[in-house]
Every structure is written in C-alpha cells, then in structure tokens.
C-alpha cells in the first residue's frame, strides 16, 4: 500500500543530492548574485556602444562567456532547491529572487546581440575566423538577424523575461501546491493519493478496481482546476504567438523550430508517421494487456499496467548501480567513472517527499557536475528511468568538458537521443544475459511499456495535441478548458481506435505535463529515440567502432545540427527510413511479447 509521503526534512540525507557542490552555504549564493550584478554592470560599461570590429567582438564574447558561466550555477541552485520541495517558502523566495535578477541581467546584456546584428555580415564572419570557438554562436546569430527588433525593444522584452516565465511558474504552483488530493476508497478501504503516488504506483496497480478508482479520483480533482490551468496555458501560448508575430516569423511553428535547427518537414513527419503507423502495433499491445489481465474491457486507465505484475522484481538504490554499471560498461571507463561519481558524490536525488517535482530530469550546469532528480519507488523499471537520466548526464559531462558554454548544448531535437540510448543499452544487456522466457518477456515489456510507450506514445500524443493547439493559436484564436479537452480526447481516440475505451478524465491529461511550457519539446522524445534505436543496433552489430563514433557525437555538443550529429553516428534522418525502421522494430517487440506469452501460458 502507498504510504503518505514524508516531508523533505524527514528523508535520509544520503538519498538527496548535494547542492553544496554548487554553493557551500546560502551566503555564498547570495554573494554570487551581488557579484554577478556587478560584473554585468562592468561588462555593460566596457562594451556598450563599442562592439564595432572583429577583435572587439571576440573580446566581448569571451567576457560574456565568463559572466554567463557565473549565472548558470546560481540559476541551477535556485531551480533545483525548489524542485525538491515546492512547498518550501525559502526555496520559493530564492527562486523568485534569481528570476527577478535574471530579468534585470537579460535586459542589461541585451545590447550585445543588438549591436552584433547591426554589424555587416562580413565583420561577423571575420570574427568567426579569428575565434572558431565562437563560430557556432555567431552563425546562429546571423540566422536570427532578420528577426531582431530595435535595441530598445529588445531591452524592454528582456526586462519582462520573468513575466514571460510566469505561466510556467503559475502552472507548477497550481499543480504542486494548490491541488490537494483526497484519499480514495475501494471496498471500504481508504488509499492515499498524490501526483507522485498516482504516477509512480496507482497507474501501474495490478488490481483493476483500485487502479480505476485511483484514476477516477485523480481525474476528478484535476477537473476542479481545469479552467485555471487552461487560462495559464493560453497565456503562455498567446505570448509565444505575439513574439512570433512581432519578430516577423511566418508562423509560430517557424519561431519555435528555429533554435531546434530543423524544419517543419522533420517535425510533421515524426507526428504523422507515428500516429498512422505505430497505432496498429500499440493497439495490438493493448489487446495483449487486456487478454493477460482478463479485463472486461481495456480502458485508458489500464494502459500503464505491467504485462506480468507478479514477476517485476523490486530493487534497491544500491543494487541498481550494479545493473547500470554492467549495462553501460560498453561505453568505456570514463563513462563508468561518471556513473560511479554520480552515486558516491550524491549527484542524484532519490527521495520521495511531499512537494517534490514529479517525474525525473537531469540538470547539467556548465562548469559543474550534472544533477538528477528521480523519486525512487524500488521497482526494477526505475533502472531504465535512471539510465535515461544518466544518459543526459553523460552527454553533458562530455560536451561541457569539450565545448565552450555556447557550444555545449545541442538542438532540442537531438537532446533525448543520448538518454534513450542508455535505455536501449540496459535492455540489450538484460536480454543478452538471460534465456528465461518470463525474464525475457519482462525486459521486452519494459522496453515497450517504458522506453517506447513513454517516448513514442505518451510524449508523441502530447505533440499531436500540442500541434492542434498551435495551429489554432496561429490563426489568432484562444484556447480554454473545453477546447483543450476536446483536442486531447480526439488525439487519444484517433490513436487507440476501438482497442481502448478513452475513460472519462483521460482528456485532462494535458494538465499533467510541464512540457507544453517548453516550446515544441514533446515530439523530440520520439525523434531522439529514433536516432538512439538505430545507433544501439549499430553498437550491437559493430561494437567499439560504433561506440567511439557515438562518444564523439556526445563530445560535439551543439557544434553541429541534429542532421549532422545523427550522420556522425551513422543515421540519416533526412529520410523516413530510420523512423519507419524504428516503428517496425517496436512492432517486432510486441509480436515477440505475444509469442513469449503463448510459450509461458502453455508451459
């Protein structure tokens, strides 16, 4: 049974991350904000109105990098301390303090971009030749040049950056602080409910009566907040639309895709092909779940159940390291050393506590080690989640060491490739080390139910829904709770067809995901997994050669476009072939699950 979550100050320190690696004491953080503000002022006095030749450009960008390298850990510290307990008023005030300072800094520093885009292209290109480390930054600047506004307008917009981030903060406040879930009852027995317990436990509960009751209770509570959450989201997308319009983009999609360095062809292909061609495979998987569990019908509330809930082993945090070490050993000693440090030096926050952000993420501040948030529930499935986040950590561990602060981060389109790659490596390792049909079925069902379902279904259906929202907003229209519910339900019904009954409340799942406040992010999960699926196959077949090429991709950071990075790893994403092959591979895994189930049931 799920227990009530402890408060943050009640959890064991050993299972929390060590933010002292960023700032040893609160006083150090406060002093850093003062130092940053002073350095920004000095930078402004030194360069404002004087960036007018190639050598000055390089000097200014070098100093700008140094300032930015101090801003990053401060912002990370404020953000991470809040993410572990959003009910903590000190953490809230700290985050607000940094947010206000960040807006002020952005406004003060906005002159640099404004002055650079006013210079002749030839001068920018000459500066790139003088300092290749800044070439990527300057190339992207030239791309954005036509969308830049008057310097005073840019300064004003930057000053409002904290306000532009307000919808996301409001969304999190509603979700993590205002929504308080009631216990739900089944057969006169009471069960506690929270965001974390629902997503970590009740969604996968094997008893259908408890699982469906939890879903109904969870959805009923979400429904009470649907109008506030919808207004919050509409505020966000309207600001994006206004920004796209005043900057002169043809559409909100072009605005949001520019930084991803891909065009709408790759974006639409990912959504359309999966919606059309993966759906039949996943419907077959849903029917398999229904058959194995003997369900009267398959509902949306049943989709996260395990194929064999009696078999899934539990695992301690300490035991998880052995699995991850063994699976990721192929990546080499340096990579394993990073994993070892992550455990030993408390880079990972494993604790479950009230107010902690849901899900899992990895934050990789430049100049510091990565931080991983996860709420460990002791399910073996969590090994895949942790491997995923360690994939992000390994990516930026390499990229941050090899690249400048402006070159380390790749396009959002590519960001999920290294993380999902690790999930594939874990799966391949587990499959290679057991011939037991039940264990094999558990591993393959974990790949399907976690790795592919999460990235190719959950997030992709978010993307299909999100595209409908942006198409509407691009026409100058607003959204409200009714419209968002209709869009979400229509996407779910289109994908699942007759195989799954879309339970009442399923349409509210748009309320659960913070990704909608991060631009066109949801579709990139399947894009990244498409690349990593192909590379994982290469590693299985070609070994060290493919590993070395992949490591070079990680080290390249953001110096190349997603198409170029994929090409370095031997994958051509300018064609449909990698995506079609990945969809076919998912289909083969589901067919294997059906075969293994027949073998197990007849033995």
Predicted confidence (pLDDT) per residue in 280-292, tens digit: 999 999 999 999 9
Residue 45 lies in a domain: yes
Residue with tokens 């991350």: 17
Determine if residue 557 is left, alpha or beta; phi over 0 gives left, psi from -120 to 50 gives alpha, anything else beta. left
421 and 294 in a common domain = yes
- State how far Cα 439 lies from the chain centre: 29
pLDDT grade, residue 3 (50/70/90)?
A: low
Predicted confidence (pLDDT) per residue in 128-161, tens digit: 999 999 999 999 999 988 999 898 998 898 888 8
Span 316-323, average pLDDT: 94
Residues contacting residue 180 through CB under 8 Å, at least 6 positions apart: none
Tell me, what CATH number does 34's domain have?
1.20.140.70
Predicted confidence (pLDDT) per residue in 117-131, tens digit: 999 999 999 999 999
pLDDT of residue 594: 96
Helix (H, G, I), strand (E, B) or coil at 314: strand
Compute the chain's Rg from CA coordinates.
24
Task: Please name the residue ranges forming H helices in 11-120.
Answer: 26-47, 54-83, 89-118
288 and 216 in a common domain = no
Of the three residues 159, 190, 207, the one that is the final residue of a domain is 159
pLDDT of residue 197: 86
Find the helix or strand (DSSP H, E) in which 298 lies.
none
Tell me, what CATH number does 538's domain have?
1.10.1370.20
Residue 218, domain extent: 180-224
Q: What does the DSSP assignment read for 173-242?
A: HIIIII--PPPEEETTEEE---HHHHHHTGGG-S-HHHHHHHHHHHHHHHHHTHHHHHHHHHHHHHHHHH
Residue 565 lies in a domain: yes
278 and 191 in a common domain = no
Task: Please name the residue ranges forming H helices in 279-332.
Answer: 279-293, 317-328
pLDDT of residue 379: 82
Residue 431 lies in a domain: yes
Residue 369 lies in a domain: no
Could you tell me the pTM of the whole model? 0.88
214 and 275 in a common domain = no
pLDDT of residue 1: 47
Residue 196 has pLDDT above 70, yes or no: yes
Domain count, the chain: 3
pLDDT grade, residue 41 (50/70/90)?
A: very high
% of the chain residues with pLDDT over 70: 100
Residue 364 has φ and ψ, to the nearest 5°, of: -125, 75
Span 187-205, average pLDDT: 90
578 and 459 in a common domain = yes
Residue 70 lies in a domain: yes
Residues 70, 39 contacting (CB under 8 angstroms): yes
Q: What does the DSSP assignment read for 360-386?
A: -EEE--TTS--EEE-----BTTHHHHH
Which of 58-62, 197-201, 258-262, 372-376 is least confident? 197-201
Span 250-270, average pLDDT: 95
Predicted confidence (pLDDT) per residue in 434-451, tens digit: 888 988 998 899 899 888
Residue 523 lies in a domain: yes
Residue 365 lies in a domain: no
pLDDT of residue 564: 96
Find the helix or strand (DSSP H, E) in which 332 lies.
none
Predicted confidence (pLDDT) per residue in 21-33, tens digit: 999 999 999 999 9
Token representation of residue 110: 């906005």
Range picked from 101-110, 232-241, 512-521 for highest mean pLDDT: 232-241
Residue 383 has pLDDT above 60, yes or no: yes
280 and 143 in a common domain = no
Residue 548 has pLDDT above 70, yes or no: yes
Q: What does the DSSP assignment read for 395-417?
A: HHHHHHHHS-TTTS---TTTTTH
Using H for helix, E for strand and C for coil, what is the string for 448-515? HHHHHHHHHHHHHHHHHHHHHHHHHHHCCCCCCHHHHHHHHHHHHHHHHHHHCECCCCHHHHHHHCHH
DSSP state of 299: B
537 and 454 in a common domain = yes
Residue 335 has pLDDT above 80, yes or no: yes
209 and 125 in a common domain = no
% of the chain residues with pLDDT over 90: 84
Residue 2 has pLDDT above 90, yes or no: no
Q: How far apart are CA 413 and CA 417, in angstroms?
A: 9
Residue 74 lies in a domain: yes
- Spell 67-93 as b/e; 16+ CB within 10 A means b: bbeebbbbbbbbbbbbbbbbebeebbe
209 and 267 in a common domain = no
Residues 500, 300 contacting (CB under 8 angstroms): yes
Residues contacting residue 466 through CB under 8 Å, at least 6 positions apart: 516, 520, 522, 523
Closest CA to 499 of 205, 285, 294: 285
569 and 510 in a common domain = yes
Of the three residues 104, 129, 159, the one that is the final residue of a domain is 159
440 and 541 in a common domain = yes
pLDDT of residue 493: 98
218 and 85 in a common domain = no
pLDDT of residue 262: 93
């Amino acid at each position: 049974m799920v227990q009530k979550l402890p408060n943050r100050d009640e959890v064991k320190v050993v299972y929390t991350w060590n933010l002292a690696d960023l700032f040893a004491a609160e006083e150090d953080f406060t002093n850093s904000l003062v130092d940053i503000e002073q350095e920004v002022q000095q930078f402004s006095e030194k360069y404002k109105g004087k960036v007018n030749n190639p050598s000055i450009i390089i000097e200014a960008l070098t100093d700008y990098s140094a300032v930015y390298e101090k801003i990053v850990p401060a912002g990370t510290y404020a953000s991470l301390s809040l993410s572990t307990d959003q009910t903590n008023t000190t953490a809230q005030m700290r985050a607000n303090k940094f947010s206000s300072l960040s807006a002020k800094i952005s406004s003060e520093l906005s002159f640099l971009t404004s002055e650079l885009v006013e210079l002749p292209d030839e001068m920018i290109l000459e500066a790139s030749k003088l300092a290749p480390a800044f070439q990527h930054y300057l190339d992207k600047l030239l791309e954005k040049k036509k969308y830049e506004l008057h310097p005073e307008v840019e300064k004003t917009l930057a000053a409002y950056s904290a306000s532009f981030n307000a919808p996301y903060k409001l969304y999190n406040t509603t979700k993590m602080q205002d929504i308080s879930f009631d216990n739900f009852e089944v057969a006169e027995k009471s069960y506690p409910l929270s965001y974390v317990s629902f997503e970590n436990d009740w969604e996968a509960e094997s008893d259908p009566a408890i699982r469906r009751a939890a879903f109904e209770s969870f959805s009923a509570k979400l429904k009470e907040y649907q109008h506030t959450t919808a207004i919050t989201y509409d505020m966000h997308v309207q600001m994006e639309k206004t920004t796209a319009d005043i900057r002169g983009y043809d559409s909100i999609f072009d605005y949001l895709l520019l930084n991803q360095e891909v065009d709408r062809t790759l974006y639409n292909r990912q959504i359309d092909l999966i919606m059309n061609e993966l759906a039949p495979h996943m419907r077959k998987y849903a029917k398999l779940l229904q058959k194995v569990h003997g369900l009267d019908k398959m509902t949306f509330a049943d989709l996260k159940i395990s194929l064999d809930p009696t078999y899934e082993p539990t695992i301690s945090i300490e035991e998880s390291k052995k699995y991850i070490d063994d699976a990721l050993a192929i990546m080499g000693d340096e990579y394993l050393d990073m994993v070892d440090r992550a455990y030993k030096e408390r880079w990972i926050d494993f604790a479950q506590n009230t107010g902690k952000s849901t899900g899992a993420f990895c934050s990789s501040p430049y100049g510091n080690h990565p931080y991983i948030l996860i709420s460990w529930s002791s399910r073996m499935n969590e090994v895949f989640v942790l491997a995923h986040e360690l994939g992000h950590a390994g990516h930026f561990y390499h990229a941050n060491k090899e690249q400048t602060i402006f070159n380390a981060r790749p396009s959002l389109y590519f960001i999920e490739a290294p993380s999902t790659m690790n999930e594939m490596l874990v799966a391949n390792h587990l499959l290679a080390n057991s011939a037991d049909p039940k264990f094999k079925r558990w591993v393959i069902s974990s790949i399907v139910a976690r790795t592919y379902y999460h990235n190719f279904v959950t997030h992709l259906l978010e993307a299909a829904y999100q595209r409908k929202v942006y198409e509407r907003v691009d026409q100058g229209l607003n959204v409200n709770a009714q419209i968002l519910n209709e869009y979400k339900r229509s996407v779910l019904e289109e994908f699942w067809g007759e195989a799954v009954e879309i339970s009442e409340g399923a349409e509210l799942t748009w309320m659960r995901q913070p990704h909608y406040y991060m631009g066109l992010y949801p579709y990139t999960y399947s894009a990244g997994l498409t690349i990593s699926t192909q590379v994982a196959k290469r590693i299985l077949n070609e070994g060290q050669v493919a590993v070395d090429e992949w490591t070079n991709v990680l080290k390249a950071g953001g110096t190349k476009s997603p198409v170029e990075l994929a090409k370095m790893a031997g994958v051509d994403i300018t064609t449909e072939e990698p995506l079609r092959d990945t969809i076919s591979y998912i289909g083969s895994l589901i067919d294997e699950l059906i075969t293994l189930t027949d073998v197990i049931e007849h033995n």
